Structure 1
Amino acid sequence: MLPYVYRITKYDPADRNAHGHYTGDQEPVSDHGPVEAAYLAAVAAFARDSEVDLLEIREPQVAGFVNFELEAPVDGYGLAGLFPSGLADYHDGARVPVAVGLELVRAMLRGNGAWCRLEAPGRFFVHVGYDQYVYMGSTVPCERAMAGVFVERLDASPYEPEPEPGEQRPADDDFWAAVDLRIPRDGALLLEERPVGNLSRWHRLTRDGIGQVRAGLAPRACLTVWPGLSADLDAVRRAFPEYGLVELVWQDQAGRITSRIGDEEQYGDLAALLTGARAAAVLPLSTDERCPLFTAVLPDDDGVLRARWRTDPAPSDLRWRLLKDFRPGQIRTGTVTSIQNFGVFVDLGGIDGMINVAELSWGHYDHPGQIVRVGQQVTVEVLDVDMPRERMSLSLKALQEDPWQGFQQSHRSGQVVSGEVTKLVPFGYFVRVSREIEGLVHEKDPADVRVGDEVRVTIVEIDPARRRVALSREAPA
């Protein structure tokens, strides 16, 4: 929040009623003449007073399916000639001279179709609101009279960006690895790139082509990954709902992917676009009905996510928010939710991790249900976090004392010990030689031994690396 914020208008404050509404005869559109020039002169003067030469474009938009401006947007959204590469240079974070910033303000005053915030971070901003209200902020006072407009001091701009709850997923290496894992072996996914509000570009994502697509994306673009387009065009036609806004996305025979938005009154026109299409999909625009696979925002080249865009998170993104706070070596407490032959699943506050059977206990057991039960609270160590696969490996025994350390210190080869027979196998039988360690007696078809028998055995060899103890029923010489 900058200390000096002003509202710049052509409306005389004396012509406001008790509720602050303007009652004069000024029209809420640009005159494309001297009043518009007065606005631009005021912005230029404020920028000079603030010693600003460059402005950053933030949260750029263009006119979409619904337009709230009083004037109709124009072709090119008023951006023609402002950027060397056209819309490719009109993106969040792009830095432009004040002269270009003034032309952007002009386009916004005229309702040409482009809108953005203009900022010199920490020093200056320009926000163009509806009905010819302009808001500017600075670190220095700019209170001199401006010909043709009125300057009023405010506490804050109503267009000040407000931080949204939740953490935005960045389109980092883990994100792209997760996307790659979801691409069908012989198929494709659909990527929606939104470099500017209300403007989408579409890409077909294949395993061979994902790197090329990634390299060509606009800086700080919002990304949404959808299931691939369907070649069953009859099924696509049947996918139109009874009513509501939808977006039809289709690929023509040349491979170009295009989209168009319409409601129930345009469904017929949209369906006609499928004639000759290679593949297509009908995507709902309602947040409650949209089911993308992933969403993310591109970070800057240094890996920092500076864009303030927020996407509506997919279920995978919500799991990412939970999983990203886990690190190998952390100690966490959770609740056992499921017991399977291969391991145990533990809920760690909305995200599950798995304890493999080898990580449940140092001791021998036949089934994980002998170690834990469903609903039991357990404390575990995080062994590994696989972000692309959304998996987390846990260990219960990592927090228990390794019994082999004590066994090595208290036992030696040739020592005679007593233990209980725990299991018979074709090549011998196992004997519990300590509370959590069992050794093997190699003896073919031991007819005189039963599970549960107490026997005396000789330690032949202790192999701590392989965690094995070889035993014999022969007494030492």
Structure 2
Amino acid sequence: MFVNHVASSPYDPAGDRVVDDRAADEAFWTEVAGLIADRGGVLLEECHLGNAYRWYRLTDEADIRSTRTRLTPRARLAVWPDLSEDAEEVRAGIARRERLAWLVRQHPNGRFHPECVAEPQMARADVPNPYVSAAPGHRAALVPVREVDRRPLSTGVLPDADGVLRARWRSNETAAEERHTFLATLRIGDIVTGVVATGLHDVGVFVDPDCAPDGVLGFLRTPEMSSSRSPDGSSR
């Protein structure tokens, strides 16, 4: 453990960047109804606390009315294309690894499995219980995690009962969230360069990865180390 002095708390509200969110008012829900009419259905994401999510599949006006009664006040909403029953299409999306994404799955009874980060092994179909099932009624979708990758069909934040939008959602990640996002992008077999941050211990050394946010240290165990000569003749 290393102690680093910081000028202020990363959770200080004064350091938050916030955006002027659109209210999830009647105009928003009218737009959602139009998307359902055009597409046959949509996936609604409810972020009600930090990075905690709930998911709803909307296919008609009755679904909208029922779902609106269950949403948490001041929750942040995002509308995505409908889940797919084409298991091969979803598996191919996972295998491409184009971006960090949630794998969202719905059981035929309408319940949703807890979302999870899509990993390459989840694209496999040659296992007894595949993550993406091809059985009738099973649906799945890939939803981008990182803000820079997200392109929902529509977004909104629930106003209070009096119609006033008071929720102020932070748009910048805390240091802990940045570390979590970075670690979630790493895969077994990735090549990561870095600088040794500490002297050699009996069990290994700490390494400061070049691509990591501040505060993230890797650990290289002694049995995993090797030495060789670089083209300029120096050791590495």
Give the TM-score, by structure 1 length. 0.31
Residue aligning to 2:186: none
* RMSD, aligned α-carbons: 3.1
Trace 1:454-469 onto structure 2 (pairs within 5 A): none
Q: Aligned pair in 2 of structure 1 residues 238, 308: CA closer, same or farther (>3 Å)? A: same
Counterpart in 2 of 1:175?
28
The correspondence of residues 384-423 of structure 1 with structure 2, limited to 5 A, is none
Q: Residues 211-243 of structure 1, C-alpha deviation per residue, up to 9 Å, x if partnerless? A: 111121111111111011112221111111433
Match in the other structure for 1:254: 109
Q: Equivalent residue for 1:159?
A: 11
How much does 1:187 deviate?
A: 1.9
**Of the candidates 281, 290, 296, which is equivalent to residue 150 of structure 2?**
290
In the alignment, structure 1 residue 225 sits paired with structure 2 residue 76: no
Q: Counterpart amino acid of 1:213? A: T
- More strand by percentage: 1
Cα offsets for 1:86-136 (capped at 9, x unmatched) = xxxxxxxxxxxxxxxxxxxxxxxxxxxxxxxxxxxxxxxxxxxxxxxxxxx
Shift of 1:269: 6.9
| Alignment-mate amino acid for residue 65 of structure 2 | G
Amino-acid identity (%): 41
Listed as ranges, the matches of 1:57-72 within 5 Å are: none
**Is 1:300 matched up with 2:152?**
no
Deviation digits for residues 383-431 of structure 1, max 9, x if unmatched? Answer: xxxxxxxxxxxxxxxxxxxxxxxxxxxxxxxxxxxxxxxxxxxxxxxxx
Q: Distance in 2 between matches of 1:311 and 1:180?
A: 27
* Greater Cα radius of gyration, structure 1 or 2: 1
Query: Following the alignment from structure 1 to structure 2, what is the Cα–Cα distance between the partners of residues 233 and 246?
Result: 16
Gaps of 5+ in 1: 1-16, 22-153, 313-477
Post-superposition offset of 1:173 = 1.2
- Partner AA of 2:60 in structure 1: R
**Matched positions, count:** 162
Higher relative contact order (CA 8 A, sep 6+): 2
TM-score when normalising by structure 2: 0.59
Per the TM alignment, residue 285 of structure 1 is displaced from its structure 2 partner at its CA by 1.9
Tell me: CA distance 1:304–1:269, structure 2 relative to 1, closer, same or farther (3 Å). Answer: farther
C-alpha separation in 2, matches of 1:215 and 1:258: 21
- Are 1:245 and 2:100 matched, yes or no? yes
Asked whether the 8 Å contact 2:91–2:122 carries over to 1, the reply is: no
